[in-house]
Amino acid sequence: MDTQEQNRLDLQHHLATRLLEGKLYLAPIGNVNRVLDFGTGTGIWAVEFAEQHPEADVLGTDLSPIQPEYVPPNLRFEVDDVEDEWVYSAPFDFIHGRYILPSLKNPRATLQRIYDFLRPGGYVEIMETLMVIEAIDDSLRNTVLPRWHTLILDGVRKMGRGDPMVPLKTKQWLTEIGFVNVTEKKFAVPANGWARGDEQKIRGHLMMTNLLEAAQGITMSICMKVWGWSKEEVELFLVDVRAALKDRAVHGYVPM
């Protein structure tokens, strides 16, 4: 994973923290002993959580070893695939994850593992983003963005990389598995700086940066590998995508 992508992951963390009004989580966890951050990415959430909760033993896991070397003494990182069998020696008081379920082959099975390794009375908190841009009006209609969505969503499915719309099913799955007091909080994050209010504009600019940085890699990969486009065709298409993402006349938002 290159430096630009790592920076984008950290940007996503900063946006999430703003959405949660400066908090790292919403669950009423109190003091905790064992905490798991699966799909930890750069480890930024786990580091901040460990600093705020010195009483907790915090474990961050990810497929990529991109986490910092120097971390709080109560935090450790492991390279691990969340879809492999879980072999932890004891259950967790709090399990946290962000932006990972849609990329899994069997996300429901991962939620079942979370249930099996959560102590009675423990909490799980998962934040996800839908890979779509919706709008408060019809300003998306004559842009390239609906076509972009279709190409990406269908392409991800054809490549066997999971289901981008999994977040819409997560609450039902959690309830079916046996979790209680399941709460879902929805956010509509402006896709650029079109919305009124300083805070909304900041969130919009963060989201726009995230979308612009993600667009190149995912569009190039899917349109060439799945749809057979040439590199030049994708680059021309991306010119229109970037222009639409930056256009404040497009009143789009990303559901989270």
Confidence of residue 23 (pLDDT cuts 50, 70, 90): very high
Is 22 contained in some domain? yes
Q: Are residues 111 and 152 in the same domain?
A: no
Q: Are residues 118 and 145 in the same domain?
A: no
| Residue 225 lies in domain | 133-160+190-250
Q: Are residues 50 and 148 in the same domain?
A: no
Q: Residue 52 pLDDT > 80, yes or no?
A: yes
Q: Are residues 124 and 137 in the same domain?
A: no
HEC letters along the chain: CCHHHHHHHHHHHHHHHHHCCCCCCCCCCCCCCEEEEECCCCCHHHHHHHHHCCCCEEEEEECCCCCCCCCCCCEEEEECCCCCCCCCCCCEEEEEEECCHHHCCCHHHHHHHHHHCEEEEEEEEEECCCCCCEECCCCCCCCCHHHHHHHHHHHHHHCCCCCCCCHHHHHHHHHHHCCCCCCCCCCEEECCCCCCCHHHHHHHHHHHHHHHHHHHHHHHHHHHHCCCCCHHHHHHHHHHHHHHHHCCCCCEEEEC
CB 192 within 8 A of CB 252: yes
Each residue's pLDDT tens digit, 221-235: 999 999 999 999 999
Q: Residue 1 pLDDT > 70, yes or no?
A: no
Give the pLDDT score at 212: 96
Q: Are residues 58 and 150 in the same domain?
A: no
Residues forming beta bridges with residue 60, ordered by sequence position: 37, 77
Mean pLDDT of 27-56: 96
Is 32 contained in some domain? yes
Each residue's pLDDT tens digit, 144-192: 999 999 999 999 999 887 888 999 999 999 999 999 999 999 999 999 9
Give the pLDDT score at 227: 97
Q: Are residues 76 and 118 in the same domain?
A: yes
Q: Residue 3 pLDDT > 90, yes or no?
A: no
Q: Are residues 8 and 101 in the same domain?
A: yes
Give the pLDDT score at 162: 81
Q: Are residues 119 and 31 in the same domain?
A: yes
Mean pLDDT of the chain: 95
Is 154 contained in some domain? yes
